[in-house]
Chain A
Amino acid sequence: MSILDWLILIGTLLAMILYGLYQSKGQQSSDSYIMAGRQMPWYTVLLGIMATQASAITFLSGPGQAYSDGMRFVQYYFGLPLAMIVIAAVFVPLFRKMNVYTAYEYLDQRFDQKTRLLTGILFLFSRGVSTGISVYAPAIILSSILDINIYLTNVLVGGLLIIYTYMGGAKAIAQTQKIQFSIILLSMAFAGYLIVNALPKDVNFQEALFLAGKSGKLNVITTNFDPRDKYNIWSGLIGGFFLALSYFGTDQSQVGRYISAKDTKESRLGLLLNGFVKIPMQFLILLLGALLFSFYSFQKAPITFNTKAETLAAQQASVAYQNLKVEYNLLTERNKELSANIVALKGTPNPVSLQKNLDELRQTQKQIEDNRADFQKIIKSNNIQAEANDTNYIFLHFVKNYMPMGMVGLLFAVVFLASWGSISAALNALASSSFLDFHKLVVKRGSFTPREELKWVRWHTLGWGVFSILVAMLATKMSASLIEVVNALGSVFYGVILGVFLVAFFIKRIKGTSVFIAALIGQVIIVVIYIYDLVGFLWLNLIGALLVIGIAFIIEEILRNKRIEKV
């Protein structure tokens, strides 16, 4: 990376910290620190919701996912607009009517304290650990590409944002997220333009799409129903609906964003507009990956986009690597020729020749995929200390090697800003919940002055910040499969939490004890289903919620009958 790129990267990050500190002024109580004084307009809510959901991995794995698996990942978001409607219509008015600070506080008013504590614990555990992983995930990529020590990268990704998150709480987070997300969107749009611009001179946008489509990368809708398949229209609409309902409706890092709005109208507008823009945004991010696929068809894609892995493989498994590389080079050379032939033949009255080239292209692409998979096996079987799966490296590989000076620094800054946006909201949510749902409730009920409260929530913020960095440090020692397990934690707990909230909102006859026992039993069953890998993870949310509702019904009936017997 050039000096100009480093200057832009460091300058953007410093400016963001200073802006966050500027927005931190005037914090007097925990109310302004947790709720931003409940003064946020709809557009701040909208950008806050989007910036909280979109972590660095969203922008890195999106293009990578489209490159390797096609664009069908976008179906994962189909349930989101439906969830936005339910949350705007049902959740928002109730949260606002009860004037709660955390979602779990509502459960105390509707059920009892033990249910509030149980859901709070499930949230703190899953969100705490996953925040650590969202520090580690971009850190390992940046560390590999920029050749910086992973421990230092963890601190840069997870540590610097603590400065303004600690000082300014929700207000500083909302204001920085607004700027961060605007920079991210503009930079990604410009990156898209540069990708199209980087295509060979005789290949235009339409032809790049044609090639990507014929290579199976523009498969946005897949209609096959397979419960183990992650992304199809059914899992997206049904599973995605329950996932979005759990995430936006019960995860404090999102609830905290929209209940800090000025009034119900602003909260609703922020949520509904998120429903309008999220899918098109995700579609465009994935389209970048499909275009990158076409770009690399003319450029000879590397055997892995994680350059560090290739360097280490060349040193540590030199014979296997060299043999594979010879075959791979021949394949990519042929792939390049075929891609050029196909673009040249498109639109000419020679369908037989075009089809012949297309058939051979697909065959070559399949062999290239097999070669890339063999390379990953070399990495794993030789215990080489580098990520074998290179999906998340694809976009940054292009940025580093083909983007103009200045833009490289800006796009690396985007990775940091995207991380900071979601991690800062998570820290604020974790601190709010651990202070209000536990510390204040259990340790010293109601006897804090506003200043003391502010001091304590800040300590909690700092504590969770350090915790997430520690998890990220531990993750550097974990195996890839263990990290996948940790990553799926959200889905393991979300369904049960959602079930508790759905009972609270819609089934008035069920009381605290029944839902509490149902949540415990439901959680055990979900863990078993997850361990035995019985269904795709998107379905766990639906199953978890249904289990809690069903079991709570049964227990409520049993308890009622017992009460009647006693009378």
Chain B
Amino acid sequence: MDHNMQEKNGERRYWSRWYVLLLVWLVLLIVFFYWFTQFYK
């Protein structure tokens, strides 16, 4: 049971990292696009 719980938590942490990474990527893209828009305005 403990082993299963540990495995589930580990998996949850693994995917959470992916989700955070994707959110950071989206923010970076928007910041880059904002700079791009202002730079070439």
Contact string, A257-285, partner B, CB cutoff 8 A, digits 1/0? Answer: 00000000000100010011001100100
A89 at the interface (CB under 8 A from B): yes
Q: Give A280 to B39 CA distance when docked, in angstroms.
A: 18
Residues of chain B within 8 A of A74, CB atoms compared: 33
A82 touches B37 (CB 8 A): no
Which residue, A74, A218, A283, has most C-beta atoms of chain B within 10 A?
A: A218
Residues of chain B within 8 A of A218, CB atoms compared: 36-37, 40-41
Residues of chain A within 8 A of B36, CB atoms compared: 218, 220
Interface residues of B in 1-30 (CB under 8 A from A): 15, 18-19, 22-23, 25-26, 29-30
A84 touches B37 (CB 8 A): no
A210 at the interface (CB under 8 A from B): yes
Residues of chain B within 8 A of A219, CB atoms compared: 37, 41
Give the bracket for the number of chain B residues in contact with chain A.
10 to 19
CB distance from A216 to the nearest CB of B (A): 8
- Do A220 and B33 form a contact, CB below 8 Å, given A89-B15, A213-B41? yes
Q: Give A275 to B18 CA distance when docked, in angstroms.
A: 11
Interface residue from B15, B39, B41 paired with A268 (Cβ < 8 Å):
B15
Dominant SS among interface residues on chain B: helix
Residues of chain A within 8 A of B25, CB atoms compared: 81, 275-276
Residues of chain A within 8 A of B37, CB atoms compared: 218-221
B19 touches A85 (CB 8 A): yes
B23 touches A221 (CB 8 A): no
| Chain A minimum-CB-distance residue to B41 | A213
A85 touches B33 (CB 8 A): no
Residues of chain B within 8 A of A88, CB atoms compared: 15, 18-19
A209 at the interface (CB under 8 A from B): yes
A81 touches B26 (CB 8 A): yes
Q: Give A279 to B23 CA distance when docked, in angstroms.
A: 13
Residues of chain B within 8 A of A89, CB atoms compared: 15, 19
Which A residues fall within an 8 A CB radius of B?
A: 74, 78, 81-82, 84-85, 88-89, 209-210, 212-214, 218-221, 233, 268, 272, 275-276, 279-280, 283
